[in-house]
Copies of this chain bind each other. A is one copy, B any other.
Amino acid sequence: MRQAEELCEDQGAALTPLRRDVYELLLRHDRPVGAYELLDELKSLRPKAAPVTVYRALDFLLDLGLVHRVNALNAFSACRGHETDHRGLVLICRSCKATVELEDRKVDNTIRRSAAELGFETGDGPVEVLGTCAGCRG
């Protein structure tokens, strides 16, 4: 949270109470959370909240890199660990939906180099890899 505030300060971005609420809700989970699930939680704080309320707050947080969108799950997770760099992998368990973030220069560079050979410039944000976690394999 502290870091988020500083980041907003630096960028001249307004971390309003609403946006802060959404971010804090997200921080309470250690897995990606769907927008409508987040909306349900937000409603207990702000009865007026509507889908667009959540999506707008998420867009703001995504732009800052405080939150990742996990395409494979249509869900969102607070970014952990690497506050300055979001270029690792995120491993997603197909079964339990848990995710692990992994910042690994080697993997990342390998991917980016291969992409570059085909003229692609890869953006920010981690690469999503679907798999099965240790727990769910047992």
A interface, CB within 8 angstroms of B: 71-72, 89, 91, 93-94, 100, 102, 104, 106-107, 110-111, 114-115, 118-123, 125, 127-135, 137
Contact = CB atoms under 8 A, between A and B. Distances in A.
B122 A131 contact: yes
A132 B132 CA distance: 29
Contact of A115 (B91, B121, B137): B91
Nearest to A100: B118
A121 to B, nearest CB: 5
A107 B118 contact: no
- Binding site secondary structure of chain A: mixed
B115 A110 contact: no
Residue of A93, A104, A115, A135 most packed against chain B (CB within 10 A): A115
Nearest to A127: B129
Given A71-B128, A129-B127, A114 B121 contact: no
A87 to B, nearest CB: 11
10 contacts: A71-B128, A91-B115, A91-B118, A91-B120, A100-B118, A106-B114, A111-B129, A119-B137, A120-B133, A123-B132
